[in-house]
Amino acid sequence: MTKSNPGHYFEDFKPGMELVHATPLTVSAGDISLYRALTGARHALYSAETFAAANGFPALPVDPLLAFHVVFGKTVPDISLNAVANLGYADGQFLKDVYPGDTLTAISEVIGIKENSNGKTGVVWVRTRGENQKGETVLSYVRWVMVNKKDPSSPALDPVVPDLPDAVHASALTVPAYDDWDDALAGSKWRYGDYEIGEKIDHVDGMTVEEAEHQIATRLYQNTAKVHFDAHAQKESRFGKRLIYGGVVISIARALSFNGLESAAQMLAINAGTHAGPLFSGDTIYAWSEVLDKATLNDTTGALRLRLVAAKNHPCTDFPLRGEDGKYAGNVILDFDYWAAIPI
Amino acid sequence: MTKSNPGHYFEDFKPGMELVHATPLTVSAGDISLYRALTGARHALYSAETFAAANGFPALPVDPLLAFHVVFGKTVPDISLNAVANLGYADGQFLKDVYPGDTLTAISEVIGIKENSNGKTGVVWVRTRGENQKGETVLSYVRWVMVNKKDPSSPALDPVVPDLPDAVHASALTVPAYDDWDDALAGSKWRYGDYEIGEKIDHVDGMTVEEAEHQIATRLYQNTAKVHFDAHAQKESRFGKRLIYGGVVISIARALSFNGLESAAQMLAINAGTHAGPLFSGDTIYAWSEVLDKATLNDTTGALRLRLVAAKNHPCTDFPLRGEDGKYAGNVILDFDYWAAIPI
Amino acid sequence: MTKSNPGHYFEDFKPGMELVHATPLTVSAGDISLYRALTGARHALYSAETFAAANGFPALPVDPLLAFHVVFGKTVPDISLNAVANLGYADGQFLKDVYPGDTLTAISEVIGIKENSNGKTGVVWVRTRGENQKGETVLSYVRWVMVNKKDPSSPALDPVVPDLPDAVHASALTVPAYDDWDDALAGSKWRYGDYEIGEKIDHVDGMTVEEAEHQIATRLYQNTAKVHFDAHAQKESRFGKRLIYGGVVISIARALSFNGLESAAQMLAINAGTHAGPLFSGDTIYAWSEVLDKATLNDTTGALRLRLVAAKNHPCTDFPLRGEDGKYAGNVILDFDYWAAIPI
């Protein structure tokens, strides 16, 4: 009997089951530097202690997406080692700011299972939370994955399909208070009132991703999914090469969106997300955004609900999304729906 | 009207105009680690807290070139997004040490403009300063760039050409006091008195640069110039591929110069600098130095004025610089003139 | 006369000679982040402050292999710049934990020399120790290298061959006390009693290494060996390309060994190590381990003596080691023998 981790198969997941994932991580200033250097992130709120302090933060906070990837990464050995596909995200909430020195532990609860009609795979829904060293939940999200069965002949439990919101309601958002937002330092004069529902923004810049970059980023998060790292084994795979972790795409697209959404710095919630296509080393990511909704949170702060779309090797001047058949256009790799705070 | 940054064109720059650049950055121990890992820097003064403390520094300082690149990086979206060429540097002074936890803000003043005779471009001179969170200027330099006009038919302002020094005068250098310099830990027995004006040093080692490395470094500094990152767009450019940020060349050449200039650890001023040719991924940087001048600063410390020359794919045993036509030799990529402190 | 470092030749080494190596390094949280991001290390003990604190550590410690590489890196300019081969390691002991903020200085003593019969090279044995800022030895090891003679006609000193142990004796190991080891957070229920002498574990996962990754890692340690960095010069070498630093192989193989040895987190000693073959960019590392010995250290903690074998481009399901001729199998690149602590 081997001591190396075989991962969980579809039959192993039971509704209500809780998994405490290995390797809590103390996030540090080093992680902040690496996140910036690997993604190009440049929001003042997550770059400058002075800017953060002027807006109610006791120290320089960690970018919410960095915290998200760290928590997500921990779940891979238990949830998706035998996954066929990462199907979606829902109800992602950033509840507490994370600071260097905080230790994040990831815990998942199985909230749904449904065997596929082919009897070979099934869908598993988990709610994952990241806890800090005080036991506070700093973030929480649902994702669902398609997982192989170990034994196709094993009987399936009754399906349980969770009821998930299309989007986090604005009233549920954690509300920051921006006391002293400096437009020049933030990089834009555009604030809450300047963005209109339906408005589309081409983020213009492109970012090419190299094998070393995505591997370094994915290991930073301690995400161990083999498809990102093992070129030898991937030669026999469908694509014949390493796949880039979808979180790398999310973070780079989000960093590109600085150009046009400079002051929408703080991600408050992840409503939904689809990895519409694979990204490989050498590909160039472009991105555009659409304002889906707006909400006033308090006197100083509003929120924009944003669709962030990334395409590869295709500048986004034409806002690519879906073809006439309703399917994602060939170059679209990400369709991501989130709330971000923005000063009023 | 787009919200993404179109950058400034030649017509947008007026003498006296001040630009506060976006995204101040809190420099951290993580940045120090990355700078070392990306450049090969190994001066004891910027590596070991104990060594720094023995020589009058209250903590481990940040390499002056790291601070320089951070400040420079911030200026790109406002100064050189539509630049055709980065023409030169002058009067660069390192005025205050930078430590982890310091937040650097970049501010530029336009000090000169001159339209080119073709009517399509013009030269813009800016003095950029980096300020820390106390409002102290930690470094200051002039650079000039050739920038496109938005509209070739727009009338030009009267030219203003600043009067710039060939070199920072030794009497203007910020003077450290090296109380307890340890030759063994510094890596060399050679001190101020051992270097002669006119002496040339081949730094021997070569460093090959990969796409991932220069991209990670350039993002570390939050420098967003497209030519460094967008391989897809660069396919249509003059060189057909990504160009490496000149600051990467400066830092790697400087790190190579450790071998022969070990104790000239602290850069005090940048007198001039020319990026004589482009560097691409896969190229190998070699470097040599010439002692241009010397100055005694105080009882413990002198300064060497050094020319640092970098060449690509060409070891510097023959000290390459200019051809018989007076132009830079084909493999020369950097001609950089600076002052460094060295113990007496 | 050149001021750049020519390195030491065989004739320069005399038994009893002490070399204080250049560039002490203050290890930081940034180094911890980079080490994780470059190797995939994910032991809870070196990732989470909370986990370390629960097991008797006053802060998050630095992975012993990171400290080892830092100390090793410093020795390269003095010991192995003119080395032909790195022949072996012995008697490596991790004596004190290293924490961010500690400054490591490397000092070597020549403990053996023996000229080879060809008269052109000789073997040099050195004992290197890493000292922290309090002058405490945090680690110590012996390595021996084959070094070129400067002048083949120069007479050799009498040979001195040190008497080295096959392995560090268990009674000499520094003993941690694991007060509150959490199996779920550590990632495994397997503890001291679950491992048997002779047991072999395939670590399953593979990790492909890129040029940028090994260069960044090797510079992180300030290891300057030219063969890792200078692609231009390496074109004329035996392999025609850059060689990856053996320490990169050790650390990645060790990180892969998490999968099956999750709780054997703390390396206590290096008994021996052979770099059985070269690794190049694009190669994929796989690893397996064998339990060579066991020892109870105290009530809470035991030690496993482990052989860690790495192979390239060859999954380790068949536990590759030696061929019928007794030589290392073609794909084997590392045979490493160490002690690791594990909770009882």
Residue B251 three-state SS: helix
Tell me what percent of the residues of chain B surpass a pLDDT of 90.
94
User: Using the beta-carbon criterion (under 8 Å), do A187 and B231 form an inter-chain contact?
Assistant: no
User: Using the beta-carbon criterion (under 8 Å), do A37 and B220 form an inter-chain contact?
Assistant: yes
* C237 touches B: beta carbon within 8 Å: no
Q: How far apart are the first and last CA of chain C?
A: 60
CB contacts under 8 A, B 149-178 vs C, are none
Contact indicator for B219, A37 with CB cutoff of 8 Å: yes
Q: Scanning every residue of chain C, which has its alpha carbon at the shortest distance from the alpha carbon of B213?
A: C212
Tell me what percent of the residues of chain A surpass a pLDDT of 90.
94
User: Using the beta-carbon criterion (under 8 Å), do B231 and A208 form an inter-chain contact?
Assistant: yes
Q: Residue B198: its chain C contacts at CB < 8 A? A: none
Looking at residue C1, its pLDDT comes to 67
Q: At A221, which amino acid appears?
A: Y
Mean pLDDT of C228-234: 97
CA distance A293 to A271: 12
Q: Which chains touch B (3 or more CB pairs under 8 A)?
A: A, C
Contact indicator for A294, B37 with CB cutoff of 8 Å: no
Q: Is the pLDDT of residue B282 over 90?
A: yes
Mean pLDDT of A42-63: 98
CA distance A43 to A66: 13
Q: Scanning every residue of chain C, which has its alpha carbon at the shortest distance from the alpha carbon of A4?
A: C260
* B37 touches A: beta carbon within 8 Å: no
Mean per-residue pLDDT of chain A:
96
CA distance A250 to A95: 20
Q: Residue C29: its chain A contacts at CB < 8 A? A: 28-30, 100
Looking at residue A280, its pLDDT comes to 98
CATH 3.10.129.10 domain position(s) in chain C: 1-27+62-164, 167-344
CA distances from C128 to A32, C17, C76, C97 (A): 34, 12, 11, 17
Give the burial string for C44-55 (b: 16+ CB within 10 Å, else e): bbbbbbbbbbbb
CA distances from A115 to A127, A154, A158, C184 (A): 18, 11, 9, 28
| Superfamily for domain range C167-344 | Hotdog Thioesterase (3.10.129.10)
Strands (E), chain C: 18-20, 25-26, 83-94, 103-115, 121-131, 137-148, 200-202, 207-208, 266-274, 284-296, 301-312, 332-343
Mean pLDDT of C283-292: 98
Confidence class of residue C43 from pLDDT cuts 50, 70 and 90? very high
Mean pLDDT of A88-93: 97
* A105 touches C: beta carbon within 8 Å: yes
Contact indicator for C103, C132 with CB cutoff of 8 Å: yes
Looking at residue C211, its pLDDT comes to 98
User: Using the beta-carbon criterion (under 8 Å), do B100 and A40 form an inter-chain contact?
Assistant: no
Candidates A101, A105, A231; nearest CB to C185: A105
**Residue A327, class by beta-carbon neighbours within 10 Å (0-12 exposed, 13-18 middle, 19+ buried)?**
exposed
Mean pLDDT of B165-170: 97
User: Using the beta-carbon criterion (under 8 Å), do B216 and A211 form an inter-chain contact?
Assistant: no
Q: Is the pLDDT of residue B1 over 70?
A: no
CA distances from C293 to A304, B151, C265 (A): 60, 78, 16
Fold of B1-27+62-164: Thiol Ester Dehydrase; Chain A (3.10.129)
CA distance B14 to A343: 30
CA distance A60 to A12: 41
User: Using the beta-carbon criterion (under 8 Å), do C34 and B32 form an inter-chain contact?
Assistant: no
* C184 touches A: beta carbon within 8 Å: yes
User: Using the beta-carbon criterion (under 8 Å), do B207 and C222 form an inter-chain contact?
Assistant: no
CA distance C31 to C35: 6
Distance (Å) from the alpha carbon of C150 to chain A's nearest alpha carbon: 39
Contact indicator for B254, A231 with CB cutoff of 8 Å: no
- CA-nearest of C94, C90, C108 to C66 is C94
- Characterise A316 by phi-psi region: left (phi > 0), alpha (psi -120 to 50), beta (else): alpha
Tell me what percent of the residues of chain A surpass a pLDDT of 70.
100
Mean pLDDT of B67-95: 94
pLDDT in tens, C184-208: 999 999 999 999 999 999 999 999 9
Looking at residue B6, its pLDDT comes to 84
The contacts of residue C325 (CB under 8 Å, 6+ apart) are: none
Confidence class of residue C341 from pLDDT cuts 50, 70 and 90? very high
Distance (Å) from the alpha carbon of A61 to chain B's nearest alpha carbon: 11
* B34 touches C: beta carbon within 8 Å: yes
Q: What is the CA radius of gyration of chain C?
A: 20
Is this complex scored with an ipTM above 0.90? yes
Q: Is the pLDDT of residue C214 over 90?
A: yes
Q: How many A×B Cβ pairs under 8 Å? A: 141
Q: Residue B247: its chain A contacts at CB < 8 A? A: none
Q: At C84, which amino acid appears?
A: V
CATH 3.10.129.10 domain position(s) in chain B: 1-27+62-164, 172-344
Q: Is the pLDDT of residue B77 over 80?
A: yes
Candidates A34, A48, A210; nearest CB to B215: A210
pLDDT in tens, B150-163: 999 999 899 999 99
**What single DSSP character describes residue C281?**
T
Best probe of the B interface among C32, C232, C234, by most B CBs < 10 A, is: C232
Q: At A273, which amino acid appears?
A: G
Q: Residue B190: its chain C contacts at CB < 8 A? A: 3
Q: Which CATH class is domain A1-27+62-150?
A: alpha beta
Looking at residue B230, its pLDDT comes to 97
- The whole-angstrom distance between residue C101's C-alpha and the CA centroid of its chain comes to 22
User: How are the residues of chain B apportioned to helix, strand and coil, as percentages rounded to the nearest 5?
Assistant: 25, 30, 45
Contact indicator for A170, A295 with CB cutoff of 8 Å: yes
Confidence class of residue B30 from pLDDT cuts 50, 70 and 90? very high
pLDDT in tens, A189-215: 999 999 999 999 999 999 999 999 999
CA distance B14 to B157: 8
Q: Which chains touch A (3 or more CB pairs under 8 A)?
A: B, C
Contact indicator for A252, A39 with CB cutoff of 8 Å: yes
CA contacts within 13 A on the Cβ side of A29: 22
Looking at residue C7, its pLDDT comes to 86
Looking at residue B58, its pLDDT comes to 97
Candidates A185, A201, A259; nearest CB to B105: A185
Contact indicator for B169, B228 with CB cutoff of 8 Å: no
CA distances from A128 to A73, A79, A108, A125, B62 (A): 11, 10, 4, 10, 39
Best probe of the B interface among C25, C71, C208, by most B CBs < 10 A, is: C25
CA distance B71 to C18: 43
CA distance C103 to B122: 50
Looking at residue A84, its pLDDT comes to 86
The CATH classification number of A190-344 equals 3.10.129.10
User: Using the beta-carbon criterion (under 8 Å), do A31 and B26 form an inter-chain contact?
Assistant: no
Token pair recorded at residue A196 = 């209109």
Looking at residue B86, its pLDDT comes to 86
* A187 touches B: beta carbon within 8 Å: yes
Confidence class of residue A1 from pLDDT cuts 50, 70 and 90? low
Q: Residue B224: its chain A contacts at CB < 8 A? A: 40, 42, 205
Q: Residue B33: its chain A contacts at CB < 8 A? A: 30, 33
Confidence class of residue B106 from pLDDT cuts 50, 70 and 90? very high
CB contacts under 8 A, C 111-140 vs B, are 133
User: Using the beta-carbon criterion (under 8 Å), do B222 and A42 form an inter-chain contact?
Assistant: yes
Confidence class of residue C63 from pLDDT cuts 50, 70 and 90? very high
Token pair recorded at residue A106 = 């990831």
Candidates B185, B186, B212; nearest CB to C212: B212
The contacts of residue A220 (CB under 8 Å, 6+ apart) are: A31, A34, A35, A38, A69, C33, C36, C37
* B17 touches C: beta carbon within 8 Å: no
Q: Is the pLDDT of residue A85 over 70?
A: yes
Token pair recorded at residue C154 = 């120069």
Antiparallel, parallel or unpaired: β C200-202 and C284-296: antiparallel
Looking at residue B138, its pLDDT comes to 98
CATH 3.10.129.10 domain position(s) in chain A: 1-27+62-150, 190-344
Q: Residue C24: its chain B contacts at CB < 8 A? A: 44, 47-48, 50-51, 185
Ordered DSSP codes for C96-159? S---TT-EEEEEEEEEEEEE-TTSSEEEEEEEEEEE-TTS-EEEEEEEEEEEE-S-TTSPPPPP
CA contacts within 13 A on the Cβ side of A67: 34
Q: Is the pLDDT of residue C84 over 90?
A: no
CB contacts under 8 A, A 191-220 vs C, are 210-213, 215-217, 219-220
- CA-nearest of B103, B59, C50 to A60 is B103
**Residue A273, class by beta-carbon neighbours within 10 Å (0-12 exposed, 13-18 middle, 19+ buried)?**
buried
Give the burial string for C123-142 (b: 16+ CB within 10 Å, else e): bbbbbbbbbbbeeeebbbbb
Residue C321 three-state SS: coil
Contact indicator for B286, B259 with CB cutoff of 8 Å: no
**Residues constituting chain A:** 344
Q: Is the pLDDT of residue A18 over 90?
A: yes
Looking at residue A179, its pLDDT comes to 86
CA distance B72 to B143: 10
User: Using the beta-carbon criterion (under 8 Å), do A284 and B231 form an inter-chain contact?
Assistant: yes
Distance (Å) from the alpha carbon of B101 to chain A's nearest alpha carbon: 8
CA distance A62 to A94: 12
Distance (Å) from the alpha carbon of B155 to chain C's nearest alpha carbon: 48
Q: Residue B210: its chain C contacts at CB < 8 A? A: 210-212, 215
Q: Residue B336: enclosing H or E segment and its boundaries?
A: strand B332-343
- Write down the residue that tokens 């292999």 correspond to: C65
Q: What is the three-state SS of A256-324?
A: HCCCCCCCCCEEEEEEEEECCCCCCCCCEEEEEEEEEEEEECCCCEEEEEEEEEEEECCCHHHCCCECC
Q: Is the pLDDT of residue B344 over 70?
A: yes
**Residues constituting chain C:** 344
Distance (Å) from the alpha carbon of C158 to chain B's nearest alpha carbon: 28
User: Using the beta-carbon criterion (under 8 Å), do A37 and B219 form an inter-chain contact?
Assistant: yes
CA distance C272 to C167: 7
Candidates C26, C31, C220; nearest CB to B60: C26
Fold of B172-344: Thiol Ester Dehydrase; Chain A (3.10.129)
Antiparallel, parallel or unpaired: β B207-208 and B103-115: unpaired
pLDDT in tens, B283-335: 999 999 999 999 999 999 999 999 999 999 999 999 999 999 999 999 999 99
Q: Residue A213: its chain B contacts at CB < 8 A? A: 212, 215-216
CA distance C317 to C201: 9
